[in-house]
């Protein structure tokens, strides 16, 4: 490994003299490097490792948070299987994945491509940058603050109903977050609003990496926007699409703040999600064992999803490079 860097001298001198130095280093100093890992590893074990194992253990107990936990084996997990709220919360997670991953990624691809390929090149790039900033702005807002503002907008006497009145659609006035039938779609709409800026910004940055000559050549050949989108944009930014899909899926599985601020899981659990359900079980119902079981199931699902994502990506990469 050191050889290419030391070819200055004659070949024999280069291989003979500097070679022992780099070989000695990894062996002799490995112990020194472990020292650098020590503080990080100790903190990691204390703040993540031990609590994680603790939650796993507590999920096998019944405990109110005071006194000693009572070991009950798999009881909590059996109770989960027949708990309607638990299943509802995971059904709502699917809705969150639609609102936080599927729609933002698809819309984000479309918007990024239009902003970059049409508006950025046919108008001034500053126009595209200004529009991008508008889409990104909700991402800057603390998500709980966003939830509180939207909670007010969607109230029966809030701004959205007034807006409907103002445009003559007053008949559609509704208690958007208070009705179990409309609460989930309303929360989904808010999450799309919150989330959309992230893929737009990542994809636009990714497109800057693509050789502009590709687009110019395709255009000279008469390829329209749709051709360019399918033949250039999509394949070129696949790595970023993958990262966005993974990070947004994990965020959707973990979503807590917006639900807390908008609906507290209500009405009638119509918008409950696993992480709010776990929080509520821990700190409002004081059923620490049951809350731990919910958290443990959520953890396992997240780990499986993450590992599956990464495995799929590794396989695609190998296939692309392959043969």
Partner 1 sequence: MAVTITEVPLRRRVRDRHHRGVRRWVVLALVTVGALVMLVPFAFMLLNAFKSPGDYSSGGPLSWPTEFYTWGLRTYWSEVNFPLKLWNSALIAGSVAVLGVVVSLLNAYALGIGRVRGRLWIVGLFLLANMLPQEALIYPLYYVAKEIGLYNTRLSVIIIFTVIQSAFGTYLLASVLGTFPRALLEAAALDGAGTWTVLWRVVFPHLRPTLAVLLIFFFIWTWNEFLIPLVMLIDNQTQTIPVALASLQGDRLMDAPTTNAGALISLVPAILFFLIFQRTLARGITAGAEK
Please report, as residue ranges, which positions from 1 to 60 form the binding site for partner 1 (by CB under 8 A). Answer: 1-2, 5, 18, 21-22, 25-26, 29-30, 32-37, 39-41, 43-44, 46-48, 50-52, 54-55, 58
For partner 1, the binding residue among 231, 234, 311, 314 (CB under 8 A) is 231
Footprint (CB under 8 A) of partner 1, residues 139-158: 140-146, 148-153, 157-158
Our CB check for partner 1 shows the closer of 97 and 261 to be: 261
Footprint (CB under 8 A) of partner 1, residues 162-181: 162-163, 166
Give Cα 212 to chain centroid, integer Å: 30
Stretch that binds partner 1, among 84-92, 98-106, 119-127, 314-322 (CB under 8 A): 119-127
Stretch that binds partner 1, among 83-91, 177-185, 274-282, 311-319 (CB under 8 A): 274-282
For partner 1, the binding residue among 73, 224, 318, 319 (CB under 8 A) is 224
Rounded to a whole number of angstroms, the minimum distance from the CB of residue 175 to partner 1 is: 15
- Going by the DSSP 8-state scheme, the letter that residue 168 receives in this structure is T
Tokens found for residue 264: 């507290």
* CB neighbour list of residue 147: distance below 8 Å, 6 or more residues apart: 190, 257, 258, 259, 260, 261, 262
Stretch that binds partner 1, among 77-85, 89-97, 160-168, 173-181 (CB under 8 A): 160-168
What is the C-alpha separation between 310 and 174, in angstroms, rounded?
Answer: 43
- Across the strands, what pairs with 289? none
* Closest to 203 measured CA to CA, from 182, 163, 168, 232: 232
What is the C-alpha separation between 136 and 130, in angstroms, rounded?
Answer: 10
Q: Does 127 bind partner 1 (CB under 8 A)?
A: yes
What is the C-alpha separation between 288 and 64, in angstroms, rounded?
Answer: 6
For partner 1, the binding residue among 135, 176, 215, 290 (CB under 8 A) is 135
The Cα-based distances of 180 to 91, 267, 269, 270 in angstroms read 14, 5, 8, 5
Site string for partner 1, 183-222 (x = CB under 8 A): ----------x--xx---xx--xx-xx--------x--xx
In the chain, where does DSSP find H-type helix?
A: 11-16, 20-44, 50-58, 75-81, 84-97, 103-113, 120-122, 125-140, 143-153, 159-166, 180-195, 197-209, 212-220, 225-228, 234-236, 238-254, 257-262, 274-283, 288-321
Rounded to a whole number of angstroms, the minimum distance from the CB of residue 268 to partner 1 is: 19
Footprint (CB under 8 A) of partner 1, residues 79-118: 111, 114-115, 118
Our CB check for partner 1 shows the closer of 51 and 212 to be: 51
Q: Does 311 bind partner 1 (CB under 8 A)?
A: no
What is the C-alpha separation between 212 and 181, in angstroms, rounded?
Answer: 48
For partner 1, the binding residue among 80, 88, 244, 270 (CB under 8 A) is 244
Rounded to a whole number of angstroms, the minimum distance from the CB of residue 298 to partner 1 is: 5
For partner 1, the binding residue among 98, 131, 189, 210 (CB under 8 A) is 131
* Closest to 118 measured CA to CA, from 221, 228, 241, 202: 228
Q: How many residues bind partner 1 (CB under 8 A)?
A: 108
Footprint (CB under 8 A) of partner 1, residues 285-304: 288, 291-292, 294-296, 298-299, 302-303
Rounded to a whole number of angstroms, the minimum distance from the CB of residue 146 to partner 1 is: 8
Tokens found for residue 134: 């508008």
Tokens found for residue 273: 């999600």
């Amino acid at each position: 490994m050191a050889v290419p860097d030391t070819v200055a001298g004659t070949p024999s001198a280069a291989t003979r003299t500097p070679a022992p130095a780099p070989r000695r280093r990894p062996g002799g100093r490995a112990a020194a490097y472990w020292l650098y890992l020590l503080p990080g590893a100790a903190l990691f074990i204390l703040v993540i490792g031990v609590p994680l194992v603790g939650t796993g253990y507590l999920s096998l107990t019944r405990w109110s948070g005071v006194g000693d936990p009572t070991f009950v084996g798999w009881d909590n997990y059996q109770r989960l299987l027949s708990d309607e709220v638990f299943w509802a919360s995971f059904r709502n997670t699917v809705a969150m994945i639609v609102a936080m991953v599927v729609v933002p990624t698809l819309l984000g691809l479309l918007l990024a491509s239009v902003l970059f390929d049409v508006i950025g090149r046919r108008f001034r790039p500053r126009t595209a940058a200004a529009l991008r900033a508008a889409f990104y702005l909700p991402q800057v807002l603390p998500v709980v603050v966003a939830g509180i503002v939207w909670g007010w907008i969607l109230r029966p006497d809030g701004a959205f109903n007034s807006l409907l009145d103002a445009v003559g659609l007053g008949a559609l006035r509704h208690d958007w977050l208070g009705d179990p039938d409309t609460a989930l779609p309303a929360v989904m709409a808010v999450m799309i609003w919150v989330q959309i800026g992230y893929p737009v910004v990542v994809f636009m940055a990714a497109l800057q990496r693509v050789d502009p000559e590709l687009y110019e050549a395709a255009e000279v050949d008469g390829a329209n926007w749709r051709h360019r989108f399918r033949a250039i944009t999509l394949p070129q930014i696949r790595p970023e699409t993958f990262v966005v899909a993974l990070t947004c899926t994990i965020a959707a599985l973990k979503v807590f703040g917006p639900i807390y601020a908008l609906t507290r899981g209500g009405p009638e659990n119509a918008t409950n999600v696993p992480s709010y359900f776990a929080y509520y079980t821990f700190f409002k119902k004081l059923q620490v064992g049951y809350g731990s079981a919910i958290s443990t199931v959520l953890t396992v699902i997240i780990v499986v999803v993450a590992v599956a994502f990464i495995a799929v990506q590794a396989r695609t990469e190998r296939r692309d490079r392959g043969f």
